[in-house]
Every structure is written in structure tokens, then in C-alpha cells.
Copies of this chain bind each other. A is one copy, B any other.
Amino acid sequence: MEILVYQSGINKIIEGLTAADLPELLKDKSNVIWVDMDAPTSEDERVLLDVFHFHPLTVEDCRENRHYPKVEEFHSYIYFIVHGVTANTSPDRFTTIELDGFLGPNYVITYHHEMFRSINNVKQQLRTTPIACQRGPAFLLHQILDQVVDFYSPVLDDFDERIDKLEDDIFTLKRPNNEILSEIMDLKRSVLRLRRISGKQMEILHRMSRGEFALIPEEMRPFYRDVYDHLVRVVDLAENYRDLISGSLEAYLSVVSNRLNEIMKVLTIFSAVMLPLTFIAGVYGMNFDNMPELHSRYGYYAVWIIMAVVAVGMLMFFKRRGWIGRSSEEERPKV
């Protein structure tokens, strides 16, 4: 548990306090107190219950760590859960960590089980300049949420790049089929998860920015609306990516099927051209006593000519039908 207190009198951040100082600090309404609990002990949790008097169910929710984003108002505080992206998240495995927290009249509590990048960033800023605290706890919370949402941007860019690369791979079919298919599945799952999480987060910010909670004063709302706008963009891009990935799957299936088509054509042509030639050769391999052609001087050469005529005739027939030639040639560079 780390406690940062902004005292407006001296316009400074004080650190190095302990849980025992909290009751005193909370009494002074001009303080802005930030209690950050990183992988909290059960002792830390007792502080939530005994000093802040939060509802036991919310503290239990904090501990459980498998909830969706939500926000709930209680008599004198707001309880919220948001999700930040993990540092090692990737388009084919989108993972998030839960950030639980409370906003009170003069405090912000944050609670997380693992290192949380956005939290660290805000703390770093605060140590440099206490601006984020000057406008009260609602602004401090805004700073934190803004940081959380900012970390979604690189993930979205990663998605963009991966989908672009995926589409290239699909049209060139350079990679094995099942590998592409399996990547499409992974991306789809990730993007659905991103859509779900950010959708719920957007809803929370919407509620925070429209003035539902008295603890977020009116002049703070444009700031929350700004975070909300970012989330609208995230959700929108997530939906966009979902559509693109669905399109990729369709394209993939179609490209694979086109390819089979092309192979089928080659088989058809080969079989269709070779079979009659083999048949002709078979005919003159028969052992009938009375086969005049066999004794003709130029019979053998005539048969070669007949075979050539048959082969060329068939190839021309296929060409006229458009089964070989131009389209097949043009397609090749793409394949």
C-alpha cells in the first residue's frame, strides 16, 4: 500500500505515510489522498473495511479479480472496475488486468493484483508536478483512466498491422493453410474480447461523463467525455477489425477454393488430353491378325499425327471455353 497525499496548502505531494495516518488525513477535506494497493495484503484489505468503511461485497469483488468493468455508486463513494491492457498483450492473445478502485470526496483508492503501467505513469507525473491533484480527486481519477485508455492505442495499431499482413498472406497463400486459419481464429477471439471489454468500459465512462455521479462535478465532465470519446473510437475500431477479420475468413476460404479450382483444371486438362492418346496407342497394340494399318509403311507416323491433332484439338477446345490460357496465366503471379 502506497499513500500519496496532496496538500493544497503547501501545493505538494507528501509520500511515505502509513495506514495509521489515514483517519487523520481523511478528516481534512482539502487533502487529495491517493491510496494505491499493488498486490494488497489482507491487512491492506482491512483498511478498506475499517478505515474507509467500504461495503464488504466491493472489497470481495476487488479480491476476486475476474469481474467485468462496472461502476457502482454507494452513499459516499463510487466503486469501479476497469481493465488495462497487459504489457505483453498481442493481437492473437489480447489480455487485460483488472483495476479496482474507489472515488470518495477527498480520496482515490486503486487496487490491482499486478504491476499496472498506467498507475506507475501517473505516480511518476505526480512526483514531478502535482497538477493532476490540484483540481481534486475526480481529476486525479480522470488522469488515471486517461492513462489506462491510452494504452489501448498501440494494441489497436498492432491489430491494424496484423490484419494487413494477414490479408497479404491470404492472397499469396505463402503460409500453410491451417496456420492462417488458426491465426484468423485467434485474432477473432482477441477482437471479440477487446470489443466486449472496451464496450463495457465505454458504458462506464458514459455514465461518469453525463453527470450521474455527484462526486464527479460538472466542470470535470468534459475531461471524462474526452476519455469516453477515446473509448468510442476503440469500440468502433474493434468492430471494424471484427468485420475485417470476418472478411478475411471469407477471403481465405475463397482463395483456398480458387486454388483447388486451378488444380482441378490442370488435372482435367491432363487427363482429358492423355486419355484419348493412350487409347489410340492401346488400339494399335491389339494383336488382331487382320489390322491393315499395322502393315502400312507410314502407319506409325500417321498415328503420331493423329495423336497430335487430337491433343491440339482438345487444347483448343479448352482454350475456347476459357479454361486455360489468359486467365490462368494472369492469375499465376498472384498465386
Interface residues of A (CB under 8 A from B): 55, 57-58, 61, 66-68, 70, 72, 74, 167, 171, 173-179, 181-182, 185, 188-189, 192-193, 196, 222-223, 225-226, 229, 232-233, 236, 240, 243-244, 247, 249-261, 263-268, 270-272, 274-279, 281-291, 293-300, 303, 321-323, 327, 330-332, 334-335
Contact = CB atoms under 8 A, between A and B. Distances in A.
A132 to B, nearest CB: 15
B268 A275 contact: no
> Is chain A's interface secondary structure helix, strand, loop, or mixed overall?
helix
A258 B258 contact: no
20 contacts: A57-B223, A61-B226, A67-B233, A72-B222, A171-B178, A176-B331, A176-B334, A177-B258, A188-B247, A259-B261, A263-B265, A274-B278, A277-B279, A284-B286, A286-B300, A286-B303, A287-B294, A288-B296, A290-B296, A322-B335
A272 B250 CA distance: 31
Contacts of A299: 288-290
A267 B271 contact: yes
Contacts of A181: 251, 254-255, 258
Contacts of A70: 229
A45 to B, nearest CB: 17
Given A177-B258, A282-B285, 6 more contacts: A177-B261, A260-B260, A267-B267, A278-B278, A286-B294, A321-B332
B300 A321 contact: no
Nearest to A300: B288
Nearest to A174: B327
A287 B290 contact: no
A330 B178 CA distance: 10
A278 B271 contact: no
Contacts of A55: 222
Contacts of A256: 254, 257-258, 261
B281 A286 contact: yes
A297 B257 CA distance: 50
A258 B247 CA distance: 18
Nearest to A276: B274
Given A185-B251, A254-B181, A286-B287, A270 B266 contact: no
Given A192-B240, A258-B256, A291-B300, A57 B226 contact: yes
B289 A295 contact: yes
A297 B290 contact: yes
Q: Which 9 A-B pairs have the closest CB atoms?
A: A281-B282, A284-B286, A274-B275, A288-B300, A285-B285, A176-B331, A267-B268, A270-B272, A177-B258
A192 B243 contact: yes
